Amino acid sequence: MKQFQSFVLKEFKQIFRDRRTSLILLVLPIVEVLLLGYAITTELNNAAIAVFDPSKDAETRQISERFQASRYFTVVRELTDAQEINDVFQNGDINMVLVFPERFSEKLRNGEGADIQFFIDGTDPNQASMLNGYASGILASFQAEQAELFRQPYQIRTETRMLYNPQGESAYNFVPGVMGLVLMLICAMMTSVAIVREKETGTMEVLLASPMKPAQIILSKMAPYFVISVTNLITILLIATFIMDVPIRGSLFWLSVVSLCFVFVALALGLLISTIVDTQMAALLVSGIGLMMPVMIFSGLIFPLESMPWGLRWISDFIPARWYISAVRKIMIEGVGVEYFAKELGIIILMAVFLMAVAWKKFKIRLS
Amino acid sequence: MVEVNDLSKSYGAVNAVRDLSFSVNRGELYGIIGPDGAGKTTLFRILTTLLLADRGTARIAGLDVVRDYRRIRQLIGYMPGKFSLYQDLTVEENLQFFASVFNTTIEENYYLVEDIYKQIEPFRNRLAGKLSGGMKQKLALSCALIHKPKVLFLDEPTTGVDPVSRKEFWGMLLKLKQQDITILVSTPYMDEAKLCDRIALMQGGRFLEVDTPQHIIDHYPETLWSVRAKEMHRLLGDLRSFPGTKTSFSFGETYHITLGKSSSPESLQRYLEERGHRNVSIQPISPSVEDCFMLLSK
Amino acid sequence: MEEKVIWADGLTKSFGAFTAVDHISFEVRRGEIFGFLGANGAGKTTAMRMLCGLSLPTSGRGEVAGFDIATQQEEVKKHIGYMSQKFSLYEDLKVWENLRLFGGIYGLKSRAIREKTDEILSDLGFESERNTFVRALPLGWKQKLAFSVSIFHEPKVVFLDEPTGGVDPMTRRQFWELIYRAADKGITVFVTTHYMDEAEYCDRVSIMVDGKIEALDSPRALREQFRAENMDDVFQQLARKAKRTSD
């Protein structure tokens, strides 16, 4: 126990003496959340929209004017042909097209129901979903006023079509994503670097030739990073709740359980990496390319999983962070019960057990 | 204390250690002398249970290095080639850390490291990375000693260290011997050999010779001549062209040569003077360990 | 008058309050083998860096190969060769590729490089190793090759920083024979070493203690002056006076 204590103490000393390491461990996660958070929640003003209005009646004009009057939108073009819709998107200067059907008023009055279509550029899913929200809001308020005026059920049905990214991922996604990323970074990358550094300086040789058991060495190497990642998790959640207004709808207990399991996966990965490489440089490269990139690409943080070709999606099933992020999303954003993310939790636990076993097996009691 | 039988280890095509057998007695200061690449580090790593040999057995204090590695690790001290310290910990923190790794405290065995540690104690709050080579070496030795090991393995402790620190270091080793610690030390510096109780001259994974330094020198089979003249650079070429020369090497300010049976120093003297050399002096001298090494390594 | 290839007059380098090199003055003649000794931290490396044009002196003057080390650093670098224990050759290139590379770096023409390569390989007896990767060579061979590369462009001075550390005794001697040959060709050799017997191979030796040159003469004269049996004794007597403890 004394061995373990002084080892962990030594590890903390080394972490906090190296300014770069402590910066990465403590400041980077916060910066990352704030950066991603603010980049996303920035309000949208005066998005350029085009209107295709073949019916040109009183109602369609009123609706167009409402859009024009809103501070969120500016009507920059009137389209005369449905063909043009595609063209304006390809030019990239229009964010949204408002499409009315023919005989809008008439359909509205005779109870046929009138459809308005929003075509939204989905390249930036967050912006797209915001546009959709604002546009639906404008229509809803129009509808409410009309209903009062005419005392008759108005039926404007809106149909939104996101081009390029039909799902329009939620703006809250980034918090689970960043949590996955940060845990990977700290547990896997920093652990592997810390172990490999001892190999590089030759101190691992002395430690191995000492009575300290390999298991003790591993555990004392992991403990500090475990503590630091838990600290970071708490910080991220605090920032998310109080600064970003991202709610934690589900159970905090389950959120912690899932996160701890994922931390073990990441620690095991870090340990595994440290057993196959000999230099800190290589450890950084392997964990950078082998772990961070897949997390960014496959976890749905940047690209939505649903729009990926099946081959890549299949690969993504092997990325632990994908399951973690999905579970956290369900707990935090959707606030569902454990039965809904049992699959994710199960997979993460399986991965943790499997990877720990492999890493344990591979960690050598000797040099090679 | 150390028993090695037919030990072999190769990396691919390179035979780092070849069929080594030797034993080290309790309390002995045993030197393994050889240049880089002789296989010294591989041998040390096998003995410190860090590497598995391909063939052969080794025992430390009667314990097998493969089967009983746990127990061996309790009773050995090891200082690898690079001074393995935590550069970002202070002198004192390093010592404290290694003490606790070995389940002991600085106070418990302080008497053992006192002589050495006292010299670096004024700098105990300095980071190990900021120490000079000689001081790092002293700290590393203190760390390897703090748990009072029975056998101490020092892999090239003096490489890259200046002659003064080297001499001090050997002084410390001689003192440690009196504490009943068996010491195995490797070095590429031949002049350090004479301070060991016994030495093994190692090259290409083999021991060329194992004996006390004095015996090795006494068993030098040839007469060694020290040759000097005014123009030293030119002299070497002429020494080599002399038909009776068997070996010739520069040694400090002179050349050390051995002569074939059919030639005498007088004939060499004549030969050199015919070639215009002045102040030629040819003296018989007693060989150094380095002379022996060169003769054996041929 | 013999040609002075290196001279230093009051050369000093300070880092803040710490004076690493403290007013050193000396001269080295053409074709001389000059041993530059000192304990770890005595200031050898700093002095050598100034002479190689890699670091500016705080005060004092010096010339190497006829160029001022403070104002003509680029010229100095062109006329010297440098080899150290740590950096010598590219391990992942073959022997001939290394030679071609360094020939190219020194601006030699392809034909000259080819001729010189053949010459070096036959001098060293390395013809059969032409296509060997440098990393596969024994340390001593690497060092011999590295030395040949450092004088590839026939510089006036070559600086050798602990060139023989860890090399076996046989190869060390072969290495010194290469140094002799270079000196006989008129190349001035400036060398540091931790092997005191090697100090005796030098024409003259300087010993630095705490940033100052405390002794400078031929090994024999130094031995007499300090009533010492060998250079090791001389060195021990001087270096023990050192007050400095850190690098």
Q: How many CB pairs under 8 A join B and C?
A: 103
Residues of B in contact with C195 (CB under 8 A): 189
**What's the pLDDT tens digit per position in B206-221?**
999 999 999 999 988 8
In whole angstroms, give the CA distance from residue B101 to residue B91.
Answer: 16
Give how far A13 is from chain B: nearest CA, Å. 8
pLDDT confidence band for B45 (50 / 70 / 90):
very high
Q: Is A123 exposed, middle or buried (0-12, 13-18, 19+ CB in 10 A)?
A: middle
Q: Tell me what pLDDT residue A171 has.
A: 46
| pLDDT single digits (tens) A220-268 | 888 998 898 888 888 888 888 887 777 778 888 999 999 999 998 998 8
Residue C133 DSSP symbol: B
Paired with B228 in beta bridges are B281
What pLDDT is attached to residue C168?
Answer: 82
Stretch among A159-173, B64-78, C92-106 having the lowest mean pLDDT: A159-173
pLDDT at B84: 83
Dump pLDDT digits (tens) for A338-354. Answer: 888 889 899 999 999 99
- Residue B152, Cα to own-chain centre: how many angstroms? 14
Name chain B contacts of A199, Cβ cutoff 8 Å: none
| Smallest Cα distance from A221 to chain B, Å | 13
Domain that holds residue C43: 31-57+79-239
Does the pLDDT of residue A169 top 50, yes or no?
no
Q: Please, which pLDDT band fits residue A166 given cuts at 50, 70 and 90? A: very low
B45 neighbourhood in chain A, CB within 8 Å: 205, 367
How do residues B161-203 score in pLDDT, each as one tens digit?
888 888 889 988 998 888 889 999 999 888 888 899 999 999 9
Q: Give me the residue from B48, B73, B86 closest to A203, CB to CB.
A: B86
Determine, yes or no, domain membership for C245: no
At residue B29, does pLDDT exceed 60? yes
Query: Mean pLDDT, chain C, as a whole number?
Result: 87
Total domain count for chain C?
1
Of residues B15 and A301, more confidence is placed in: B15
C6 within a domain of the structure (yes/no): no
C201, part of any domain? yes
Q: What is the mean pLDDT of residues C164-172?
A: 83
- Judged by 3 or more CB pairs under 8 A, whether C touches A is no
Enumerate domains of chain A plus CATH numbers. 47-163 (3.40.1710.10), 171-367 (no CATH)
Enumerate the residues of chain A whose CB falls inside 8 A of the CB of residue B93: 10, 13
Contact C168 B123 (CB under 8 A): no
Q: Which residues of C touch B36 (CB under 8 A)?
A: 139, 166-168
Q: Which string of b and e fits A267-294 if b means at least 16 CB within 10 Å?
A: bbbbbbbbbebeebeebbebbeeebbeb
pLDDT in tens, A32-91: 777 766 665 445 667 888 888 888 888 888 888 888 888 778 888 888 887 888 777 777
Q: What one-character DSSP code corresponds to residue C210? A: T
Chain C touching partners, 3 or more CB pairs below 8 A: B
pLDDT at A164: 46
Which residue from C139, C170, C236 is facing B163, i.e. has the nearest CB? Answer: C236
Let me know if residue C71 belongs to a domain: no
Instruction: Report the pLDDT value the prediction gives residue A165, as an integer from 0 to 100.
Output: 41
- Residue C174 domain-assigned? yes
pLDDT value at B268 more than 80:
yes
Report the C-alpha gap between B286 and A22 in whole angstroms. 61
Asked whether residue C118 carries a pLDDT value surpassing 80, the answer given is yes
pLDDT score recorded for residue A170: 46
8 Å CB contact between C16 and C72 = no
B and C adjacent (3 or more CB pairs under 8 angstroms): yes
pLDDT of residue C63: 92
Q: In the numeric block, which tokens belong to residue B58? A: 């080794």
Residues A191-202 have a mean pLDDT of 87
Which of C23-27, C39-43, C228-232 has the highest mean predicted lDDT (pLDDT)? C23-27
- Out of C166, C169, C247, the one facing B133 most closely (by C-beta) is C247
- Do the Cβ atoms of A290 and A277 come closer than 8 Å? no
Give the per-residue pLDDT at B55: 92
Residues of C with a Cβ under 8 Å from any B Cβ are 38-42, 138-140, 162, 165-171, 173, 176-177, 180, 183-184, 194-197, 200-201, 219-220, 230-232, 235-236, 239-240, 242, 245-247
Does B103 contact A211 at a Cβ distance shorter than 8 Å?
Answer: yes
Q: Give the helix ranges, DSSP H, for chain B.
A: 40-47, 69-75, 91-101, 110-120, 133-145, 163-177, 213-218, 232-241, 265-274, 289-296
Cα–Cα dist B204/B15, whole Å: 8
CB contact (8 A) between residue B253 and residue C173: no
Q: Of A39-48, A179-188, C176-185, give the range with the top mean pLDDT.
A: C176-185
* Residue C8 within any structural domain of the chain: no
Q: Which pair of structure tokens corresponds to residue A264? A: 């073990």
Cα-only R_g, chain A: 27
Q: Which residues of B touch A212 (CB under 8 A)?
A: 101
Contacts of B70 in chain A (CB under 8 A): 211
CA distances from A169 to A123, A132, A237, A302, B125 (A): 11, 12, 20, 10, 55
* CA gap C94, A300 in Å, rounded: 47
What distance in Å separates the CA atoms of residue C36 and residue C75, rounded to the nearest whole number? 23
- Interface contact flag, C170 B294, Cβ < 8 Å: yes
**Could you say which DSSP state residue C135 is in?**
G
pLDDT (tens digit per residue) in B1-10: 899 999 999 9
Instruction: Note whether residue C99 is domain-resident.
Output: yes
- CATH number, domain with residue C188: 3.40.50.300
Q: Is the pTM of this model over 0.90?
A: no
Q: With 60 as the cut, is the pLDDT of residue A154 above it?
A: no
C33-38 and C204-209 as β-strands: parallel, antiparallel, unpaired? parallel
- Residue ranges and CATH numbers for the domains of chain B are 2-218 (3.40.50.300), 224-296 (3.30.70.100)
Inspect the interface and report whether the beta carbons of B130 and C246 lie closer than 8 Å.
yes
DSSP symbol at B160? T
Structural domain contains residue C89: yes
Cβ contacts of B251 on chain C, cutoff 8 Å:
197
Residues B142, B146: Cα–Cα separation, whole Å: 6
Helix (H) or strand (E) holding A310: helix A310-316
Question: How far is B19 from chain C, CA to nearest CA, in Å?
Answer: 21
B114 or A313, greater pLDDT? B114
- Which band of pLDDT confidence, cut at 50, 70 and 90, is reported for residue A159? low
pLDDT tens, residue by residue, C237-246:
888 877 765 4
Interface-testing mutation among A203, A204, A207, with chain B (most B C-beta atoms within 10 A): A203
